[in-house]
Chain A
Amino acid sequence: AQKVTQAQTEISVVEKEDVTLDCVYETRDTTYYLFWYKQPPSGELVFLIRRNSFDEQNEISGRYSWNFQKSTSSFNFTITASQVVDSAVYFCALSEEVDAGNMLTFGGGTRLMVKP
């Protein structure tokens, strides 16, 4: 069965620091998809990125970047020059191709607190 582990339950940084959120996954499928979602204090879930298992290129979007490494089963998320507005809970999730329902398995989340 698939599993997603976010070992960091809480991280606190000072504004402008860089921060990396770790995500480690387990799956027996060769084709799978990884996702990151953001949940700000207002409570909604915001989709950030989807990556498939055949695309190991790192991705950068503004201050956000993602490092996908199949060799270590990790899909880590880095925020460069953090801002107070980045304060949120971040979830990593996994979906397997064999699963026709496209169900997401979520990690427990990492709460990021960015202090001014």
Chain B
Amino acid sequence: DAGITQSPRHKVTETGTPVTLRCHQTENHRYMYWYRQDPGHGLRLIHYSYGVKDTDKGEVSDGYSVSRSKTEDFLLTLESATSSQTSVYFCAISYGPPNEQFFGPGTRLTVL
């Protein structure tokens, strides 16, 4: 199994509060990704990173920011959480194209 952990695993927060989700890997993969999973939509890419301090936007990046100061950590921040950001968030890692991505266990976020 790929060494990927996500924290927290569950979080309930209120609208307007900032939230940071952490993804940590022990596999030294260059690429890291944040997806959100919503019913009927599969998984959709929020942001990804192709190296330390190198990030880019995905399909649904509005309202999210990311940072990667170390190879092993990729942070996803919701500056001001909204109810539409209630979702399950998955982190993934990869050696890069064209390799498969390996996913973390997910974080269930509820914004009230």
Interface residues of A (CB under 8 A from B): 4, 6, 9, 33, 35, 37, 43-45, 47, 50, 52, 91, 93, 95, 97, 99-104, 106-109
CB pair B43–A91 under 8 Å, yes or no, is: yes
In the complex where A44-B103, A44-B105, A101-B56 touch, is A91 in contact with B42 (Cβ < 8 A)? Answer: yes
Which A residues lie within 8 Å of B50 (CB)?
Answer: 100-101
Q: Contacts A44-B103, A44-B105, A103-B33: A95 and B98 contacting too (C-beta < 8 A)?
A: yes
**Interface readout for B24-62 with A: 1 if CB under 8 Å, 0 if not?**
000000010100000011111100101000001010000
A48 to B40, CA, bound (A): 21
Q: Chain B 84-101, CB within 8 Å of chain A: the 1/0 string?
A: 000010101010111111
- How far apart are A88's CB and chain B's nearest CB, in angstroms? 14
State whether A97 and B43 are in contact (beta carbons under 8 Å apart), knowing that A45-B103, A103-B33 are contacts in the complex.
Answer: no
**A residues near B98, Cβ cutoff 8 Å:** 33, 50, 52, 95, 97, 102
Docked Cα-Cα span, A68 to B31, in Å, equals: 27
Cα A95 to Cα B33 in complex, Å, equals: 14
Contact B103 A108 (CB under 8 A): no
> Would you call A104 and B105 a contact (CB within 8 A)?
no
* 11 chain-A/chain-B pairs, Cβ below 8 angstroms: A43-B105, A45-B92, A47-B103, A91-B42, A93-B43, A95-B97, A100-B50, A102-B94, A104-B45, A108-B42, A109-B42
Q: Is the CB of B40 within 8 A of A108?
A: yes
Chain A residue with Cβ nearest B102: A47
In the complex, the chain A residue whose C-beta lies closest to that of B43 is A106
List of B residues within 8 angstroms of A108 by Cβ: 40-42
Does B33 lie within 8 Å of A44, measured CB to CB? no
